Structure 1
Amino acid sequence: MKVRISKEEEVEEQPLSPMARVFQSPEVDYCAVTIMGFKTKFCPDVLLDALKHNVSKHPRFSTKLSEDGAKWIETQVNVEDHVVVPIIDPEEIGEDGQGFVDEYISRLTTIPLDRSRPLWDMHILNVKTSDAEAVGVIRSHHSLGDGMSLISLMLACTHKTSDPDNTVIPSLKRRQAVPHGLRKQGGWFLRSIFTFGSTMRLIWNTSVDMLLLLATILFLEDTKTPLKGGANVGRNPTRFYRRTISLDDIKLIKNSMNMTINDVLLGVTQAALSRYLSRLYGKKNEEEGVLTSNQNHLPSKLRFRAGCTVNLRSDIGFKPLADMMAKDSKCRWGNYFSFIILPFSIGLQTDPLVYLKISKSTMARKKHSYHAALVYFIIKIILKVFGAKAAAAIFNRPVVNLTTCVSNVIGPTEEISFRGHPIAYIAPSNYGQSQALLVHYMSYAGKMIISLAVDLTVIPDPHKICDDMEESLKDMKAALSERGLL
């Protein structure tokens, strides 16, 4: 629709999508942040020129919210208002460039985006760190789009370092849902049995998942551990920590165990958090004078769960930005995602491969359920019938009762550059959630980048979680090697 502002001026208005309405609620005020390290010092004029020709014309990056928060309104974008290049005194940086950058980004999480203009900004820090000559920080309100949408926009603005005339679009293939042997000609009877059994499991799994979701909304809360946040955590400053591990090692384990990369990452996460928590409980026991020869200091029967984001687009994988913006695209721009609840197996295992077997089994079970699609459908219905506040409450309540959230995004397989500035790493994350720990993974140019978003008042030593992730991956690889499975 169009709204007439004056006799000469008309402004386009577009309604917000259901998930965008949810994210505009005060209870679910999430912001996406993408941290990029550059291999050279960054020229701000290059960024301003690129924004004027590209991003400022994007339908979501050139619109602001209406006063009631229900519609997008087209507006003129002054890109200088959205780009911040602070003048930094070298004495202020000191010897720890990374510490300065981390503190700067943490302060940003306490400064809300200006709602009188498009909800995004970019910060350029020409500060040398251990793995970059400069750092760029992109903030965008989650109502603008999900991770896949925002990364697709970034890819549209970059190019291969080795081939400046071409962009990089990551590809992703679906795994076969039906065993290959059942696809052979003449296997109609076996296919019928498989289909019937699969349908019954699908109905059962979905029913159980929805009952557990309802319980989580109403009363079922995770056990209070040193990693568990609270309802007010989202208002505290968020600190981001990053670690790079080998993507080749992850693929090696994936192929040896016949699983997916997501399965491996989930196994590594459970192993690392088990190590971390056991160490903390061990220190607590020492302080209380409780001595034991057992290396496992974890309490029994811990309820520890993670929310895991799920892409709902029928056409998976990244697509060129123009395709995502097309009206009838199967890979539409926006917030087309939901979540599932993953139970974590927190406990010290003598065999590190047990974590991988558990994660593979858990993910196989969750893939055979309509949980994610039903959550999205229910939120849409509640939004239409009861309004955005009720829908936001339904969305946020499970987040508060869970311990953490985990996501994985496939990134460029080759190094990319932004107008002659090679990118060393890309670390996407979020802030604003009522959780003290968020874990994001993103592959990039043969590496897997771990990005943790933490509340330091709850988790004062998040770098140790990164250490535990590295050690867990090494232990899994070593265990496979000892058994001759690599």
Structure 2
Amino acid sequence: MTPESDPGEPVTPAGRLFLRPEMDSIIHCAIGVKNEMGIDTVKSAIKNSLMIKHPRFCSLLVRDKNGQEHWKRTDIDVDQHLIIVNNKNGFCCSCDDDVDKIVNDYLADLAVSTPLDINKPLWEIHVMLEQKCAILRIHHALGDGISLMSMFLAICRKASEPEAMPTLVTGKRDYRKEGKRQDWSGVLLGVLKVVWFSLVFCLQFVLRALWVSDKKTSISGGDGVELWPRKLVTAKFLIEDMKIVKRAVANATVNDVLFGVISSALSRYLDHRSPNAMQEGQQITGMAMVNLREQLTLQNLSEMMKSNSGSQSKWGNSVDPLQYVRRAKLMIDRKKKTFEAPFTYRIGDLIMSLLGSKAACILNYRVLCNTTFTVSNVVGPQEEITLMGNPITFIRALTMHMVSYAGKAEMQIMVAKDIIPDPEFLAKCFEDALLEMKEAAAATI
């Protein structure tokens, strides 16, 4: 079928939501490499990549006479999607500047100042030659983090085995092996807890969408905060440090540790900014995305792409740092055993089907405005990998987003600089929180 005769594929409900002006979402992923990149090599790699073969990446966004969005196939001109970043095109940096800061400053400016051109497929690749870094800009309507990560890793190879695909851990746990077998009374109690907490958390979501909001703090935003100038910093962790903390709390996961670190760090930062303003027991709420699909292997995800498919805020030395992990684990375990995630998905899907993308956008926007922050994380490969034979040094995404890679994890923290003028200190709060937990965990061994 030629592009002219293609009637177009309807945009998915989630894609329509992300295309709304109020929710317009672009995924930014920075990939650092060890060796210098040649422009011709980059162009050749793009032309031969799985990305170019995927229908979403070679389709234009079009709207019919009724305003419905469709994907319409088109021919790809790689030069239109490749932006070479250097001093000659207005991007200034000194030789003494830290590479992380240069990349982060460029990303922060890019995130709020440069929308994607709808006259071409909704993706770009910015190549920062001097920093040996490539930045993928992909509209969220093209896919979510898991599918896009799988597509990227499908074109990479292990550094130790040039012909082998990277290993991606799904994090699946066998809860049947945890603890003793429960009797019928235990099963009944478990069912009652699921029902009760499902009702509580689902009701909290409905109230959050209607009028309930977090109490204003020094890190709360205002109307239109999503358009305010940004700053971006990186907090760096070792996965082994997280595992040490994980082993100190019974049946904890790395995710539990991550949320404990966030709770501890935000408590410390809020106490630093407003020492006398915070009250014991005050809560702030974050939004975390979860994957409701069955866990798949990297190979399965690659095939799927080919087929188009609150924390207490008082900080003090008398508090056991591991308490943040225990509280996070308790909260997360409760939520895992409820129907809150499927409920919120079904509510959004129902509103999208009955009332359209505008109403669904209003719902999502209100929930986001009534919370304080958003957080996401994606599991990356365990071992070092290469792209076009060039060893990759880091993989990063935006917002408060953590990506693991080869025993390391880096969290990109994007803030409105008028609200959080010192994100470097906030990043240090995150790093120090994990180190304190590690020390406390080591003391228990």
Same fold, TM exceeding 0.5?
Answer: yes
Task: Note if 1:43 corresponds to 2:38.
Answer: yes
Counterpart in the other structure of 1:73? 72
Letter in 1 for 2:60: K
Letter in 1 for 2:292: L
Task: Note if 1:380 corresponds to 2:349.
Answer: yes
SS at 1:362's partner residue? helix
- Unaligned regions of 5+ residues in structure 1, if any? 129-133, 184-189, 286-296, 334-342, 430-437
Contact kept, 8 Å, 1:169 with 1:319, in 2: the verdict is: no
Letter in 2 for 1:394: L
SS at 1:168's partner residue? coil
Counterpart in the other structure of 2:48? 53
Counterpart in the other structure of 1:424? 393
| Correspondence list, 1:472-483, <5 A | 472-483=433-444
Contact kept, 8 Å, 1:383 with 1:391, in 2: the verdict is: yes
Contact kept, 8 Å, 1:304 with 1:344, in 2: the verdict is: yes
Task: Note if 1:111 corresponds to 2:114.
Answer: yes
CA shift, 1:69, in A, is 5.1
Contact kept, 8 Å, 1:267 with 1:355, in 2: the verdict is: yes
Task: Note if 1:261 corresponds to 2:254.
Answer: yes
Contact kept, 8 Å, 1:276 with 1:465, in 2: the verdict is: yes
State which of 407, 412, 427 in structure 2 corresponds to 1:446.
Answer: 407
Q: Distance in 2 between matches of 1:321 and 1:314?
A: 11
SS at 1:299's partner residue? coil
SS at 2:160's partner residue? coil
C-alpha deviations, 1:422-471, integer Å up to 9, x for none?
11111112xxxxxxxx4211110011111111111111111111111111
State which of 325, 333, 343 in structure 1 corresponds to 2:305.
Answer: 325
Task: Note if 1:93 corresponds to 2:62.
Answer: no
Change (3 A) 1:423 1:205: same
Q: Distance in 1 between matches of 2:207 and 2:334?
A: 19
Task: Note if 1:30 corresponds to 2:25.
Answer: yes
Change (3 A) 1:444 1:239: same
C-alpha deviations, 1:69-99, integer Å up to 9, x for none?
5211111111110010134259932121534
Letter in 1 for 2:333: A
Aligned alpha-carbon RMSD (Å): 2.2
Q: Distance in 2 between matches of 1:270 and 1:241?
A: 18
CA shift, 1:192, in A, is 3.6
Counterpart in the other structure of 1:84? 83
CA shift, 1:344, in A, is 2.5
C-alpha deviations, 1:269-319, integer Å up to 9, x for none?
11111111101113xx6xxxxxxxxxxx63345330000110011235644
Letter in 2 for 1:73: K
SS at 2:374's partner residue? strand
Stretches of 4+ aligned residues off by more than 6 angstroms: none
Counterpart in the other structure of 1:360? 329
Instruction: Using structure 1 for the length normalisation, give the TM-score.
Output: 0.84
Letter in 1 for 2:304: M
Contact kept, 8 Å, 2:151 with 2:302, in 1: the verdict is: no
State which of 182, 196, 208 in structure 2 corresponds to 1:204.
Answer: 196
Q: Distance in 2 between matches of 1:478 and 1:389?
A: 49
Q: Distance in 2 between matches of 1:195 and 1:82?
A: 56
Counterpart in the other structure of 2:293? 313
Letter in 1 for 2:114: I
Letter in 1 for 2:391: P
CA shift, 1:63, in A, is 1.1
Task: Note if 1:391 corresponds to 2:386.
Answer: no
Counterpart in the other structure of 2:60? 64
Counterpart in the other structure of 1:135? 133
Contact kept, 8 Å, 2:284 with 2:311, in 1: the verdict is: yes
CA shift, 1:180, in A, is 4.6
Counterpart in the other structure of 2:269? 276
CA shift, 1:399, in A, is 0.7
State which of 264, 272, 283 in structure 2 corresponds to 1:303.
Answer: 283
Task: Note if 1:229 corresponds to 2:198.
Answer: no
Letter in 2 for 1:272: A
Contact kept, 8 Å, 1:63 with 1:118, in 2: the verdict is: yes
- Unaligned regions of 5+ residues in structure 2, if any? none
CA shift, 1:127, in A, is 2.3
Contact kept, 8 Å, 1:169 with 1:320, in 2: the verdict is: no
Task: Note if 1:459 corresponds to 2:426.
Answer: no
| Correspondence list, 1:236-247, <5 A | 236-247=228-239
Contact kept, 8 Å, 2:33 with 2:393, in 1: the verdict is: yes
Counterpart in the other structure of 1:344? 311
| Correspondence list, 1:180-191, <5 A | 180=178, 190-191=182-183
Counterpart in the other structure of 2:12? 17
SS at 2:31's partner residue? strand
Letter in 1 for 2:284: F
Task: Note if 1:144 corresponds to 2:124.
Answer: no
Contact kept, 8 Å, 1:106 with 1:239, in 2: the verdict is: yes
SS at 1:26's partner residue? coil
Change (3 A) 1:195 1:18: farther
Contact kept, 8 Å, 1:155 with 1:169, in 2: the verdict is: no
